[in-house]
């Protein structure tokens, strides 16, 4: 089953393309559209593919990137009110959440596996013990008798 974007999604992406084209004087990339709309690049590409299939937008490919240009924006009104087909958006959002969780878990593991951390902790512990040792006053000299005379040995 083919994905057909909703009319609102189509209008949103086309408006973003128009605005970015006006601002940059060239067709935008999917990443630029995603940044402007605050959506993931994958969702934008999914919507753009649905719009391309209906010849509302077209992809302009050059050796460096792929830009999205308007073809026949009047066909936007032929789009259904609700999107049909597989709901890739929800799957992509779930994937992003899982990948963020994995990234945080990896970062925690890397912090726990920090080899220099153990050395720093050991050095600070030794410094603290030395400070405590230096602060102690000696109980008495080992080679003196109670009267203050030195013992002859």
Q: Specify the pLDDT at position 129.
A: 87
Distance CA 60, CA 131 (A): 70
Nearest Cα neighbor of 56 from 99, 7, 89, 21 is 7
**Across 4-152, where does the E strand assignment appear?**
57-61, 66-70
Classify residue 141: in a domain, yes or no.
no
For the chain, the domain total comes to 2
Do 45 and 24 fall into the same domain?
Answer: yes
Domain boundary among 59, 86, 113: 86
Classify residue 29: in a domain, yes or no.
yes
Instruction: Give the pLDDT confidence of 104-140 residue by residue, as tens digits.
Output: 888 887 776 666 777 888 888 988 888 887 777 666 6
Classify residue 56: in a domain, yes or no.
yes
Count CB-CB contacts under 10 A for residue 130. Answer: 10
Classify residue 77: in a domain, yes or no.
yes
Model-wide pTM > 0.95: no
Do 121 and 79 fall into the same domain?
Answer: no
Name the token pair of 148.
Answer: 């203050």
Do 62 and 112 fall into the same domain?
Answer: no
Distance CA 55, CA 71 (A): 6
Instruction: Give the pLDDT confidence of 64-79 residue by residue, as tens digits.
Output: 899 999 998 888 888 8
Residue 120 — φ and ψ, nearest 5°? Answer: -65, -45
Name the residue range of residue 63's domain.
7-86
């Amino acid at each position: 089953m083919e994905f057909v974007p909703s009319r609102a999604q189509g209008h949103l992406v086309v408006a973003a393309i128009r605005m970015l084209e006006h601002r940059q004087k060239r067709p935008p990339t999917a990443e630029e559209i995603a940044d402007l709309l605050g959506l993931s690049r994958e969702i934008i590409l999914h919507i753009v593919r649905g719009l391309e299939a209906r010849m509302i937008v077209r992809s302009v490919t050059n050796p460096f990137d792929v830009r999205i240009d308007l073809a026949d924006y009047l066909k936007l009104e032929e789009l259904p009110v609700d999107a049909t087909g597989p709901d890739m958006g929800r799957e992509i959002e779930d994937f992003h959440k899982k990948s963020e969780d994995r990234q945080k878990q990896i970062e925690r593991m890397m912090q726990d596996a920090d080899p220099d951390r153990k050395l720093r902790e050991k050095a600070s512990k030794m410094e603290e013990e030395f400070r405590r040792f230096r602060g102690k006053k000696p109980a008495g000299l080992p080679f003196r008798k109670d009267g203050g005379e030195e013992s002859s040995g």
